Amino acid sequence: MSRIGKLPILLPKDVDVIVNDNLVSIKGPCGKSELAIPSGIGVNLNDRTVSVSVLDNTLKNRALHGAIRTLLFNDISGVHKEFEIELEFIGVGYRCEVKGPIVILRLGYSHPIELSIPTGVTVTVDKNTKISIKGAKKEVISQFAAQIRAFRPPEPYNGKGVLYKGEQIIRKAGKSGKK
């Protein structure tokens, strides 16, 4: 049994959860979400708590126990209060802008990079070098932020690139030359 999977999830007052066979529907002030539950995992709703249990004790279901509980917890937290990831663009000429459902990144390449914003995600830009990604689904906004960061990951010599807010880059010394 998973230690994480055993923990009950307390529901906030403004979040409603409906359990149908293998589908859990969650509604809250920041949106709604649905999570498909595998056949060997059970979800129980008692008063204002949700618990996840293993129905048949196979290796696969025991492995999924904690993961399903964490996904369910993230969905409940996301519809109650949106998740937010902030990115910073550090480098000469690095900037971004939002035009409708598209994010345009200028990261030192010969062409701008255009990415479409996933559904359920809102993107705001501050001072052309800071971008804020908000949404109810943690895995969707994390994947979108990682996709943006993958175009210019931070490099250790000059410290340029796309960084998460507050991230520290360990700098390396460059070539020392002849002595």
**Residue 97's domain is classified under what CATH number?**
3.90.930.12
- Which residues, 6 or more positions from 168, have their beta carbon under 8 angstroms from its beta carbon? none
- 31-80 pLDDT, tens digit per residue, is 888 889 988 888 888 888 988 888 888 888 888 888 889 999 999 999 99
71 in a domain, yes or no? yes
Given this model, what pLDDT does residue 1 score? 61
Domain housing 143? 83-164
- Whether 179 is in a domain gets the answer no
In this predicted model, what pLDDT tens digit does every residue of 110-164 receive, in sequence order? Answer: 999 999 999 889 999 999 889 999 998 899 999 999 999 999 999 898 888 999 9
The pLDDT assigned to 32 comes to: 87
Question: From the CB of residue 80, how many other CB atoms can be counted at a distance below 10 Å?
Answer: 18
Same domain, 73 and 88: no
DSSP states of 24-37: EEEEETTEEEEEEP
Q: What is the pTM of this model?
A: 0.84
67 and 39 assigned to the same domain: yes
Tallying the residues shown for the chain, one arrives at 179
Listed in sequence order, the DSSP H helices in the chain are 3-6, 59-80, 138-151
Question: Tell me: the pLDDT tens digits for 96-107?
Answer: 999 989 999 998
- Using pLDDT thresholds of 50, 70 and 90, give the confidence band for residue 83: very high
How high is the pLDDT of residue 179? 62
Question: Would you give the DSSP letter of residue 46?
Answer: E
110 and 60 in one domain? no
Residue 82 is classified by DSSP as -
Specify the pLDDT at position 30.
Answer: 86
